[in-house]
Structure 1
Amino acid sequence: MGPVSTYDEIADWYEEEFVGRQADGDPLGIEQALRLLLGAGKGTCLEIGCGTGRYASLVRELGWCPLGVDLSAGMLRHAAGRLPIARADVGRLPFPDGCLPAVVAVMVHTDMPAYPQVLREVARVLRPGGRFVHIGVHPCFCGGFADRTDPDAVVIRPGYLDSHWTHNSWTDQGVRDKVGATHRPLPELLHAFLDAGLEFEHFTEGGTPTPVMLAIQARNRSNK
């Protein structure tokens, strides 16, 4: 069973229970990172892997017109009331070259084994001066190799250096033990941006006391 069909099966749980448990505050710093790195703007902001569309209201608050794409029909069923949506493969985005002012990916890169190809598509559809914001789990401190049972003393076990797909997780109350995750060490993830022609501009981390989230703002090098 692939991750898309698994997300279809857990879509109601994700919307009603998992998202609900994270409704209070911004413990991972995701909203803060969106405000900092996406910032105020106008025009369409495409969210790749939008899931249930939980960040659409914040994108709209910043002045953008949110648009979401995802492969999971189950997740998009919940997103439909929050933003315009399209069911599409983010590795083959249904948009012409250089047409979008902004693209965001929020906590989804571990769902995408072909993320380097996704980054190439992001670079392709970004217009001159457009920005890309990647917000994802921190590759150094989150993954099947990281035991976060005690948040004050995260244990990093062997496995960080290996790129792999795994269902291993420190908790059975989250998403990864259900749908799996792709892990890439930090250098491999960053090089995928460079190989796609994206130029780094800003970084931030979120979560305490050990970062849970790493966020990156980048632009298309050829469009500067």
Structure 2
Amino acid sequence: MAAYDDIADWYEERFLTAQRGDPLGIGRTVRDLLGDGAGTCLEIGCGTGVHATLLRELGWTPVGVDLSAGMLRHARARLPVVRADASRLPLRDDSVPAAVAVMVHTDMPAYPDVLREVARVLRPGGMFVHVGVHPCFCGGFADRGDPAAVVVRPGYLDVHHTRESWTDQGLRDKVGASHWPLPTLLNAFLDAGLTPRRFAEGGTPVPVVLAAATTKPPHTRPAPSP
């Protein structure tokens, strides 16, 4: 997306530096929920490709897809990539054994459609791991200025897109974020035909991350769009 094209260098050189050391447990969560494997692991919204090393350590062969040419300019040194809309993946049905989306679902206004595409391209029995910001405690409605006392104001219950943010050092004030309440997000997995297997939270003392490991049941197709 154009918004990420404009900040790609800042993201690579400054934002990621502040995330070193896995303060939110994102890497640990991917390890726990995805686990060891073999074959292609498609990373939806791969950005600059910073998770490729972890996927390789787990035995997977990472391949990335992202819409931002600026982000992919950095990612190409880390993994094979293709520039494409995640809601229209350029892959065959039942073609990949695993896929992940790491901290990107709020960047995708059509994320329920993305989940349907993930279900389409996964092999029967294949795994999809979603790791994203926690919908209950992160968003324009949440003030995290005091980590020990997050203030949640009205707005959580509405599906919306916003650039409101409690800080100007993050991403949301620059590129905005789409928000789905927890039931809406979880139901999107079910509507796509994905079966939840495990859930996890990360970040303390109030969670920042919500993650889900899901699988595609054998010989099924996603339900038609409503």
State whether TM-score is above 0.5: yes
Give the TM-score band, short-chain normalised.
over 0.9
Calculate percent identity across the aligned residue pairs.
70
Match of 1:50 in 2: 46
Match of 1:204 in 2: 200
- May I ask how many residue pairs the two structures share in their alignment? 220
Match of 1:37 in 2: 33
**Shift of residue 98, structure 1, vs aligned partner:** 0.3
Look up the SS of the partner of 1:33 in the other structure: helix
**TM alignment of 1:1-224, pairs within 5 A:** 4-23=1-20, 25-223=21-219
* Length-normalised TM-score, structure 2: 0.96
CA separation in 1, counterparts of 2:80 and 2:217?
A: 29
CA separation in 2, counterparts of 1:123 and 1:223?
A: 11
**Shift of residue 223, structure 1, vs aligned partner:** 4.1
| Paired residues of 2:106 and 2:178 also in contact (CA < 8 A) | yes
CA separation in 2, counterparts of 1:113 and 1:166?
A: 11
- The one-letter amino acid of 2:107's match is D
**Shift of residue 221, structure 1, vs aligned partner:** 2.8
CA offset digits 1:179-204 (Å, max 9, x no partner): 00000000000011100000000000
Match of 2:223 in 1: none
- Note the aligned Cα RMSD (angstroms): 0.8
* Length-normalised TM-score, structure 1: 0.97
| Paired residues of 2:104 and 2:132 also in contact (CA < 8 A) | yes
Look up the SS of the partner of 1:193 in the other structure: helix
Look up the SS of the partner of 1:91 in the other structure: helix
Look up the SS of the partner of 1:127 in the other structure: strand
- The one-letter amino acid of 2:29's match is A
CA separation in 1, counterparts of 2:207 and 2:217?
A: 28
**Shift of residue 219, structure 1, vs aligned partner:** 0.8
CA separation in 2, counterparts of 1:131 and 1:123?
A: 9
**Shift of residue 128, structure 1, vs aligned partner:** 1.6
| Structure 2: gaps spanning 5 or more residues | 221-226
Look up the SS of the partner of 1:44 in the other structure: strand
- Displacement over 3 Å in runs of 4+: none
